[in-house]
C-alpha cells in the first residue's frame, strides 16, 4: 500500500513538472519527481500511463482553458504541415494527438518514404525545426 501511495504521489508530481516546466519526457519528469519526494528512483516509479492520467487530471483542474486553446492551435498547425507533407503519409503522434500537450510541446509527425533525401530537402524548406530518423 505504501508503495502504491508513493507511485501515485510521484505520478502527480511528475504531471505537475510536465505541465508547468515542460520536462523533455515522462522518464525525466518521474525521476525528478521521485528526487523531490525523497523516493528512490527505481522502486516506486509509476508507469507512463499513470503519469499521463495524472497529467490529464492536473490540466483539467488547473489549465483547462489554456490547454484547450493550445491544443486547438497545435492541432491546426499540425494539419497545415500534414497537408504540405501529404505525399509522405503523415501521422500525428504524441501529446498533441493524445490531448496532453502543454506550452513546451512539440508537434510530432511520423512520415514515411523510400526517398529520404527528397523528404529532407522538403523539410529544410519548411519554417520549422525537424529531426529525421529511421524507425
Structural domain boundaries in the chain: 2-62, 65-125
* Cα separations in angstroms, 63 against 21, 23, 54, 123, 128: 13, 17, 13, 33, 26
pTM above 0.75, yes or no: yes
Structure confidence at residue 39 (pLDDT): 87
Structure confidence at residue 60 (pLDDT): 95
Report yes or no: 81 and 126 within 8 Å, Cβ to Cβ.
yes
HSE-up of residue 51 (Cα within 13 Å, Cβ side): 25
pLDDT in tens, 22-50: 888 899 999 999 999 998 766 779 999 99
Amino acid at each position: 500500500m505504501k508503495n502504491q501511495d508513493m507511485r501515485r504521489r510521484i505520478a502527480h508530481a511528475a504531471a505537475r513538472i510536465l505541465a508547468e516546466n515542460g520536462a523533455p519526457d515522462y522518464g525525466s519528469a518521474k525521476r525528478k519527481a521521485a528526487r523531490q519526494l525523497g523516493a528512490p528512483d527505481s522502486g516506486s516509479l509509476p508507469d507512463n500511463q499513470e503519469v499521463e492520467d495524472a497529467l490529464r487530471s492536473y490540466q483539467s483542474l488547473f489549465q483547462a482553458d489554456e490547454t484547450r486553446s493550445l491544443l486547438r492551435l497545435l492541432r491546426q498547425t499540425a494539419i497545415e504541415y500534414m497537408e504540405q507533407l501529404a505525399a509522405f503519409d503523415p501521422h500525428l503522434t504524441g501529446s498533441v494527438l493524445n490531448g496532453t500537450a502543454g506550452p513546451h510541446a512539440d508537434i510530432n509527425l511520423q512520415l514515411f518514404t523510400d526517398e529520404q533525401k527528397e523528404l529532407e530537402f522538403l523539410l529544410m524548406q519548411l519554417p520549422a525545426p525537424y529531426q529525421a530518423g529511421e524507425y
